[in-house]
Amino acid sequence: MATTAIDARGGALDTSHKRVILASSLGTVFEWYDFYLYGSLAAIIGKQFFTGLNETSGFIFALLAFAAGFAVRPFGALVFGRLGDLVGRKYTFLITIVIMGLSTFLVGVLPNYTAIGVAAPVLLIALRLLQGLALGGEYGGAATYVAEHAPPGKRGLYTSFIQITATFGLFLSLLVILGTKLWLGEAFDTWGWRVPFLISAVLLAVSVYIRLQLAESPVFQQMKAEGKHSKAPLTESFLRWGNLRLVILALLGATAGQAVVWYCGQFYAMYFLGTTLKIDATATQLLIAGALLIGTPFFVFFGWLSDKVGRKPVVLAGCLLAVLTYFPIFKGLTHFGNPAIEAAAASAPVRVQADPANCHLQIDLIGKKVFTSSCDVAKSFLAKKGIPYENVAAGPGTLAVVSVGEHDFPSFEGGGLSKADFAAQSKAFGEQVGAALTAAGYPAKAEPAQVNYPMVLLLLTLLVIYVTMVYGPIAAWLVEMFPTRIRYSSMSLPYHIGNGWFGGFLPPVAFGIVAATGNFYAGLWYPVAVALMTFVVGLLFVRETKDVDITA
């Protein structure tokens, strides 16, 4: 029955195909739009909901907000993956979009700390948890649903439209934020930030309406009619070694590398331009948006190509290119984005002389932890300013010293200081070192006249094309790895561990490596190492799947 329906649609995209792809893709665009809004507006939201708390409470709430953003996604994959394998793809990813949409809209109307006190951050965290859980269930449902409608030989092409959605969701959120800022001006920081969240109500209504018009996946219907569906999908997926082995290989040999290439090519590149190279925030957002706009069609191209040559060669080629070229590309971004930093580093190199035992790896996953040793104070200041420096070992117990050219500036020990005293000394230290850096030619920001915008855009577009190589075919590859009865559960978990943890942790881990080494390219070792791991594991242990029968 279902097999006939699939075979009959084996030609070009017809109306039913387009409806399936549009409904799944539009809903997923909306989900990613919602998810990125919080990330893009985190600083403003923090001022609205966390500033009235004491330091300990603020730390706890920030931790929870982070967990909702990334760490919770695999749990959503488990909850909704199980539901999708038990009751169906359509209804499950309809539920996820409603949860995501309503929780996002409610963020836009939620009273702040000044209005309702500690209830404000509590409610915000609850909504963020719902968002994270819903996103964990959305992707697997959309990808599975589209793949199970696709005719043989076209699953890479069909699911590639789903792959556009994450990038387009980021693109859409940036456009809405920029447009609202231009429209409202200074009011954006006080109340205008709510507008992008409120707009999600319109997107929710459209997405739900379209999804309600859809039928269940024909592959799932056939399996259900034949009584072959799983009664315990989580047990079959993760407690039986035969399938668990595939889940582990899907994580290490496919999604982990895909995730770091995805986050490095978009989020870390944005961070690098804005924080390290000090390019204006609006210019940075426009450059990223431009690269996304140029690169987006390549999702479809590489999805189509994977139908011809295989999923594995395309994804692993993207990982290998990232390994081989990330360092020269990011050095090129510096050369064309802020050449003054290169010149200053050559003429007045900066050194940090410190006891190595006094220096810690400053990996702060939530952006709230304070590192207080004299070495950590010095390195944190320089890393946040985007200043490259050399590490020089000093004797045990020695107070750290920052040298700018021929001038030395002692740091301070902050461990026993009150919060106010630590802030005061940090300010004084920063002003002294900052003045010396300015005198040495280190720019406070990138001068627009010195930024080679076309070359920066070209390099960013190249990073986005790598993203499209690894991400365009990944949905089809994951869908084809697992049997129909446990497909939703099995593919969702490695995808969200890969993207939620390996990818989501990239910015703080990279910053910690940069702060430790003084080399602002050293953070790239994290995505390079993970991408290399995926290339090796995928090459040796993960099978090609483009010709498998997914009705089994």
Q: How far apart are CA 492 and CA 89, in angstroms?
A: 12
Q: How far apart are CA 496 and CA 510, in angstroms?
A: 20
Per-residue pLDDT at 462: 97
Is residue 141 packed enough to be buried (19+ CB in 10 Å), middle (13-18) or exposed (0-12)?
A: buried
Q: How far apart are CA 431 and CA 394, in angstroms?
A: 24
Per-residue pLDDT at 54: 61
pLDDT averaged over the chain?
A: 85
The tens digit of pLDDT for each residue in 164-200 reads: 877 778 778 888 988 998 899 889 988 999 999 999 8
SS3 410: strand
CB-CB contact of 287 with 456 (8 Å): yes
Tokens of 315: 């994804």
Per-residue pLDDT at 6: 39
Instruction: Return the half-sphere exposure (C-beta side, CA atoms, 13 A cut-off) of residue 60.
Output: 7
Q: How far apart are CA 78 and CA 122, in angstroms?
A: 24
Cβ-Cβ contacts under 8 Å for 434 (sequence gap 6 or more): 385
Report, as an integer, the average pLDDT of 390-412: 91
DSSP E strands, 474-534: none
Examine the pLDDT at 528 and tell me if it is beyond 50: yes
Report, as an integer, the average pLDDT of 467-488: 92
Examine the pLDDT at 268 and tell me if it is beyond 70: yes
Q: How confident is the model at residue 136 (pLDDT cuts 50, 70, 90)?
A: confident
Q: How far apart are CA 146 and CA 318, in angstroms?
A: 24
Per-residue pLDDT at 476: 93
Q: How confident is the model at residue 210 (pLDDT cuts 50, 70, 90)?
A: confident
CA-derived radius of gyration, the chain? 24
The tens digit of pLDDT for each residue in 333-391 reads: 999 999 999 899 888 899 999 999 888 877 665 555 667 889 989 988 888 888 899 99
In the chain, the amino acid numbered 80 is F
Q: How far apart are CA 518 and CA 130, in angstroms?
A: 39
The tens digit of pLDDT for each residue in 89-133 reads: 778 878 888 888 898 899 999 998 889 988 888 898 888 888 888
Per-residue pLDDT at 10: 45
Which is nearest to 275 in space by CA: 338, 329, 326? Answer: 338
Q: Compute how many other C-beta atoms are within 10 angstroms of the C-beta atom of residue 445.
A: 11
Q: How far apart are CA 411 and CA 322, in angstroms?
A: 38
Per-residue pLDDT at 15: 65
How many Å is the maximal CA-CA distance in the chain?
80
Per-residue pLDDT at 406: 86
CA 239 to chain centre: 29
The tens digit of pLDDT for each residue in 212-246 reads: 877 777 777 777 776 667 778 888 888 889 899 99
Q: Which helix (H) or strand (E) holds 112?
A: none
Tokens of 456: 């920066």
In the chain, the amino acid numbered 229 is H
Per-residue pLDDT at 367: 56
CB-CB contact of 494 with 244 (8 Å): no
Order of strands, sheet of 401-404, starting from the edge strand that comes earlier in the sequence: 390-393, 350-354, 401-404, 407-410
Lowest mean pLDDT among 147-151, 219-223, 318-322, 488-492: 219-223
Pairwise pLDDT comparison (252 vs 240), residue with the higher score: 252
Per-residue pLDDT at 544: 96
CB-CB contact of 264 with 530 (8 Å): no
Examine the pLDDT at 9 and tell me if it is beyond 50: no
Tell me the pTM. 0.84
Which is nearest to 39 in space by CA: 135, 114, 117? Answer: 135
Partnered with residue 181 across adjacent β-strands are none
Q: How far apart are CA 399 and CA 146, in angstroms?
A: 60
Examine the pLDDT at 11 and tell me if it is beyond 50: no
CB-CB contact of 515 with 380 (8 Å): yes
DSSP line for 336-401: HH-HHHHHHHHHS-EEEEE-GGG------SSS-----SHHHHHHHHHHHHT---EEEE--TTPPPE
Eight-class DSSP state of 192: I
Q: How confident is the model at residue 77 (pLDDT cuts 50, 70, 90)?
A: confident
CB-CB contact of 275 with 386 (8 Å): yes
Pairwise pLDDT comparison (502 vs 500), residue with the higher score: 502
Which is nearest to 437 in space by CA: 378, 517, 382, 490? Answer: 382
Q: How far apart are CA 426 and CA 407, in angstroms?
A: 18
Examine the pLDDT at 485 and tell me if it is beyond 70: yes
SS3 403: strand
SS3 408: strand
Report, as an integer, the average pLDDT of 515-531: 92
Instruction: Return the half-sphere exposure (C-beta side, CA atoms, 13 A cut-off) of residue 12.
Output: 0
Tokens of 450: 């010195």
Which is nearest to 200 in space by CA: 33, 64, 354, 424? Answer: 33
Tokens of 218: 């024909």
Domains of the chain: 18-337+450-541 (1.20.1250.20), 348-439 (3.40.30)
Q: How confident is the model at residue 294 (pLDDT cuts 50, 70, 90)?
A: very high
Pairwise pLDDT comparison (439 vs 67), residue with the higher score: 439
First to last CA, the chain: 14
Partnered with residue 390 across adjacent β-strands are 351
